[in-house]
Structure 1
Amino acid sequence: MKKVLTPARGAIAAALLVGLALPPMAQGQLRQALDTGEQATRKAEQVQEQINQLDDQRSDAVSEFRTLLQRTQAAQLYARQQEKVVESQRRELESLTEQLGRVDEITAQTTPMLLDMISDLEAFVQADLPFRIDDRTQRIADLRAAMENAQVPIVEQYRLIIEAYKSEMEYGRTIDTWPEDIDVDGKTVTVDMFLFGRVALVYMSPDRKYAARWDREQAQWVPVESKFKEDIAQAIKVAKGTTTPSVLYAPATRLDVEL
Structure 2
Amino acid sequence: MQDKLTIPRWGLAIALCCLAPIAMADDELLDESQRAQKAQAELQARIDAADEATRQRLEELREARQETRRLDAYNDELEPLVERQAETIATRERALDTLAETRDVLPVVMRELVERLERFVESDLPFLRDERLARVADLETMLSDSELSQADKLDRILLAWRTELDYGREMDAWSGRLEGEVPLEVDFLRIGRVGLYYLTPDGRHGGVWKVAYGEWRPLDGEALSELRKGLRIARDQRAPELLSLPVSQVVEVVEEQGEEAS
Corresponding position of 1:141: 137
Q: Which of 194, 200, 204 lines up with 2:199 in the alignment?
A: 204
1:27-38 alignment runs, 5 A limit: none
Taking structure 1 as reference, are residues 183 and 127 closer, same or farther at Cα in structure 2, changes over 3 Å only? closer
- C-alpha distance in 1 between matches for 2:170 and 2:102: 37
Q: Is it true that 1:221 corresponds to 2:216 in the alignment?
A: yes
SS in 1 for 2:120: helix
**2:114 aligned partner:** 118
Residue 162 of structure 2 aligns with which residue? 166
1:226, CA displacement in angstroms?
2.8
Cα pair 2:205 2:224 within 8 Å, conserved: no
Across the aligned residues of Structure 1 and Structure 2, the Cα RMSD in angstroms comes to: 2.4
Contact 2:223/2:245 (<8 A) preserved: no
The structure showing larger relative contact order (alpha-carbon pairs under 8 Å, at least 6 residues apart) is 1
Please name the residue that 1:251 is paired with: 246
- Return the alpha-carbon distance in structure 2 between the equivalents of residues 189 and 108 of structure 1: 50
8 Å contact kept, 1:199–1:251? no
CA contact (8 A) 2:205 2:220 kept: no
The within-5 A match list for 1:146-161 is 146-161=142-157
Aligned residue for 1:235?
230
Corresponding residue for residue 181 of structure 1: 177
- 1:206 CA displacement: 1.5
What's 1:82 paired with? none
Q: Distance in 1 between matches of 2:150 and 2:114?
A: 14
Contact preservation (8 Å) 2:114, 2:136: yes
2:123 counterpart residue number: 127
For 1:36-115, list aligned pairs within 5 A.
106-115=102-111
Q: TM-score, normalising length from structure 1?
A: 0.56
| SS of corresponding position for 2:138 | helix
Aligned twin of 2:186? 191
Separation in structure 2 between the aligned mates of residue 200 and residue 170 of structure 1, nearest angstrom: 15
Q: State the secondary structure of the residue aligned to 1:191.
A: strand
Distance in 2 of aligned mates of 1:235 and 1:160: 33
Deviation at 1:134?
Answer: 0.8
Q: Distance in 2 between matches of 1:254 and 1:121?
A: 21
Secondary structure in structure 2 of the residue aligned to 1:230: helix
Kindly state the Cα deviation for residue 118 of structure 1 after the two structures are TM-superposed.
1.0
Q: Give the Cα–Cα distance (whole angstroms) in 1 for the partners of residues 135 and 179 of structure 2.
A: 25
Secondary structure of 1:170's partner?
helix
Structure 1 gaps of 5+ residues are 1-98
Aligned counterpart, 2:69: none
How many residue pairs match? The answer is 157
Amino acid at match of 2:111: L
Structure-2 residue corresponding to 1:63: none
The alpha-carbon deviation at position 225 of structure 1 amounts to 2.1
2:204/2:224 contact within 8 Å kept: no
Question: Are the counterparts in 2 of residues 212 and 223 from structure 1 also a CA contact under 8 Å?
Answer: yes
- With normalisation by structure 2, the TM-score equals 0.56
